[in-house]
Amino acid sequence: MSGTSPVVVAKRVDGGDDADLTEIADLASAAGYDVVGRLSQSREEDAAYHFGEGKVEELAALVRETDAQAVVVDNRLGPYQTYNIGGKLPEGVEVIDRFTLILEIFGQRANTRKAQLQVELAELRYELPRAEAKASLAKRDERPGFMGLGEYDESRERDIKAQISRIKQELDAIAEKEETRREQRRESGFDLVALAGYTNAGKSTLMRQLADDLDVSENEDLHPDLDPTAESEDRLFTTLGTTTRRADTGTRDVLLTDTVGFISDLPHWLVESFESTLDSVYRADLVLLVVDASESVEEMREKLVTCHDTLYERNEAPIVTVLNKIDRVDDDELAEKRAALDALAPNPVAVSGLTGENVEELTARIEAELPDWREERLLLPLSDDAMSLVSWLYDHGNVEREEYTGEDVLVEFSARPAIVEKARSKAAEVRAPPGSAESGDVSEASVDSP
């Protein structure tokens, strides 16, 4: 179906107030659909129709009234429920549940090989239980086309499982290459900082405030078609590819990575399918968890809980909560929200990615939370190689003192432990060039640790 088609969005909740249709309408719009009608119901799930049968009749009337070409349901529907709802609707009107819609959006945004594989994996994991359901129903009723679910092919389950295995192997190979690249960047002196949070929390806008002009594609040798610029459109899932850019926080060289935002009520199988993309968050040195401060406390709390459940399961890096969009709230409201969320977001940094307010405070916090650097002193004989090493230290660490005494140069610097070890090795070569009898030996006068 064309993404420009008119659709009706619908949702059922177990009880309480009417269902909130804001997110599903936003998701439908993100997929390119035109939302022309909304319907909700508060009641226990009906096994046959998900909604009550009377509500489905009301839904059909709304479809006819609006000339909608599809119904987007903000719930997970079983094959039987999907078929029954479709039977009540005008002929040709499609029934799309929440996760089918999400997969459609992901498919539209998948511009890299890794993203395409992850979408395909998610689609197969979504289809597998439905293929199993067809098998079960067909065997039970001895009718391959029972309930309009399509012809049952017993080999389809095997094919899906084989495809899942193949895709996982290819994604594992990509993940290994990306992990090697991350370690190479660390060895080059870069700290890795990841932006995490819900869609439309303002991650990309904040990234533009923090980043230098230099763009670094996370998948530059694997996927040259990846757009390395951080977009800040008011759309969900602008891209599935990670965007990595160099950020200047003061003394540290930081690579900042933005990736797809979280959304609520994602099943485990869907999160698992995008594990390769989430590795950019899981394997960072620091995570900035971005939250929209203009939302209600209840919404912020719910999203923080979901993010923590996703991040703390595998992430070992420190997490700093960033309350973004403070340009939309006054000081009193912000103070109330900070107090209400203190248990989930202790000592957050409040900023505006749009105006740049408090961004300097955030960069200082980034430096404070990153893994400690080691301090070191090198005493080198004056030479071209020594000056090259000094220049290398400026590029890979923070040089705090450079002093020339006679025929030597003293350099005091701080850097990641791996950079310090590499600097010691380079100093040994400067003191005793490769091939000489003394190569590899560094005297106490040559390298002095404080």
Residue 162 lies in a domain: no
Give the per-residue SS3 of 219-230. CCCCCCCCCCCC
Q: Quick one: pLDDT at residue 136?
A: 61
366 is in an annotated binding site: no
Shared domain for 33 and 93, answered yes or no, is yes
Q: Provide the domain limits for residue 200.
A: 188-369
- Domain annotation covers residue 241: yes
Has 440 been labeled as part of a binding site?
Answer: no
CA gap 108, 237 in Å, rounded: 9
Please tell me the predicted confidence (pLDDT) of residue 219.
Answer: 41
Q: Would you say 315 is a known binding-site residue?
A: no
**Residues 6 or more apart whose Cβ sits within 8 Å of residue 362:** 210, 288, 322, 349, 351
Residue 244 marked ligand-binding: no
Whether residue 384 sits in one domain with residue 364: no
- Sign, CA dihedral 443-448-449-450, equals positive
Q: Looking at residue 234, what is its pLDDT? A: 43
Q: Is 258 annotated as a binding residue?
A: yes
Is 128:160 a contact under the CB 8 Å cutoff?
yes
Residues 17 and 51 grouped into a single domain = yes
- Residue 381 and residue 364 share a domain: no
The answer to the question of residue 142 being in a domain is: no
If asked whether residues 384 and 293 sit together in one domain, one would say no
Q: How many domains does the chain have?
A: 3
Residues 89 and 204 grouped into a single domain: no
Mark whether 91 and 200 lie in a shared domain. Answer: no
Please indicate, yes or no, if residue 244 is contained in any of the structural domains. yes
Q: What is the CATH number of the domain that holds 82?
A: 3.40.50.11060
Residue 40 annotated as binding? no
Q: Are residues 272 and 297 in the same domain?
A: yes
Q: What is the pLDDT of residue 280?
A: 76
Give the per-residue pLDDT at 220. Answer: 38
Task: Say whether both 208 and 342 belong to one domain.
Answer: yes
Question: Is 199 annotated as belonging to a binding site?
Answer: yes
Task: Consult the annotation and say whether 449 binds a ligand.
Answer: no
Q: Is 147 within the bounds of a domain?
A: no
Residue 134, pLDDT score: 65
Domain for residue 123, yes or no?
no
How confident is the model at residue 164, as a pLDDT? 93
Question: Whose structure tokens read 């040798």?
Answer: 221
The pLDDT, as a whole number, for residue 139 is: 56
Say whether 391 counts as a known binding-site residue.
Answer: no
260 known member of a binding site: yes
Answer yes or no: is 98 within a domain.
Answer: yes
> Does the annotation list 339 as a binding residue?
no
Cα distance between residue 199 and residue 291, in whole Å: 9
Given 369, 385, 407, which residue is the final one in a domain? 369
pLDDT along the chain (450 residues), means of 10: 82 82 89 94 93 96 96 89 92 91 83 83 84 62 47 73 92 86 78 86 89 50 33 47 80 82 70 71 88 94 85 78 96 96 94 93 92 88 91 87 90 86 89 55 42
Which CATH number goes with the domain that contains 301? 3.40.50.300
Does residue 156 fall inside a structural domain? no
Identify whether residues 357 and 384 lie together within a single domain.
Answer: no
**Boundary-marking domain end, from 106, 136, 171:** 106
The answer to the question of whether 319 is labelled as a binding residue is no
Cα 200 → chain centroid: 12
Is 398 part of any known ligand binding site? no
Q: Are residues 239 and 378 in the same domain?
A: no
Q: Which of 43, 71, 106 is the last residue of a domain?
A: 106
312 is in an annotated binding site: no
Is 15 annotated as belonging to a binding site?
A: no
Q: Provide the CATH number for the domain around residue 378.
A: 3.30.70
Domain co-membership, 354 together with 222: yes
